[in-house]
Amino acid sequence: MLWSGGPSAVAQQTGSVPTDGDIRDELQRFGNIDLFVFSDRAAFLARMDETLGLANIKDPDKTFAKLPRSPFTVTGQQNGRQIATCQIFVPENVTPQSGNEIFAELMRGWFGKRLSYGTDPAVTYRWLIYHEIRHCQPDHFGGDDIESHRDERDADLFALDQIATGQNRDGLIADIIAFRMITSALFADRSHMTGLSVRYALDPTSDGKSITTDQEVAAFLATRRMIGAHAKAIAANVTPTNLELVRAITELRTAAEAGTLTPVIAHAPEILIGLDDAIAHFAPTLHARVATKR
């Protein structure tokens, strides 16, 4: 099973809100792909039963203990059973029809429920669905950690090429880079720590930079620990608030630019600068409340 910068522009309505039916119609040109939108745990397990057969899974409640937060694919084989079509599962609360913004939901609401974009929420939702479409192709049917990391980066670039237009391409690139920098630094598992490699592929100012998977994962993990430690150090209570987290990031960015960041961690300065820029991109008002405080 596969589970799969600069100042922000004000959100621009560059595309109509896609319905489930619209997306299903689009999927047909990529082969046998089904889209399932589920509302709750019971609906999720019922659909997984139809797809995989829960009787084939030793402990479904443990296997699916947490309801998925984001779109993901089930493809290839599970317990020796070949799945006839690639299945894309989408939680109902992240669809455009829910009224929620998928990027805001996937960033746990830390930077607000209504974000600022280079494109708009409908475009970013479609981009994530096309990311999953790429995982439906046979060469994305699983692999080791390095291959999974490569597949995630490849799926991002595929999705961009599929939905970008002359009008939205630059804005979508800015949204993608900002989203991946934030999630890589704060939330993502190792396979999804692609913020730097995606930026190197999309940002013309990267000038041919490259990074190995091991280097990128190590850099994000170390930087995440640094951010967490600094946020706790300045927090008024045990758990840092959103503002304290952003303050920690902006203070670490200042140290990175001054060359006084300790400990010295490879790629940490560019991660912190990119992360701070990403927050300013999606949440300029929140960022300004902290960045201007000294």
Stated pTM of the model: 0.88
Three-state DSSP state, 101:
coil
Residue keyed to tokens 């002359």: 166
- Is residue 4 within 8 Å of 133, Cβ to Cβ? no
Distances (CA, A) of 259 to 54, 169, 184, 269: 54, 34, 23, 8
Each residue's pLDDT expressed in tens, for the chain with a length of 294 residues: 233 322 233 333 344 566 767 788 888 888 888 888 988 888 888 888 887 778 777 788 788 877 778 888 877 655 555 566 788 889 999 998 899 999 999 999 999 999 999 999 999 999 999 999 998 887 766 667 788 899 999 999 999 999 999 999 999 999 999 999 999 999 999 999 999 999 999 998 888 899 999 999 999 999 999 999 999 999 999 999 989 999 999 999 999 999 999 989 999 999 999 999 999 999 999 999 886 554
Which phi and psi angles does 62 have, rounded to 5°?
A: -75, -40
Peptide bond into 263 cis (omega under 30): yes
Three-state DSSP state, 176:
helix
- Is residue 192 within 8 Å of 155, Cβ to Cβ? no
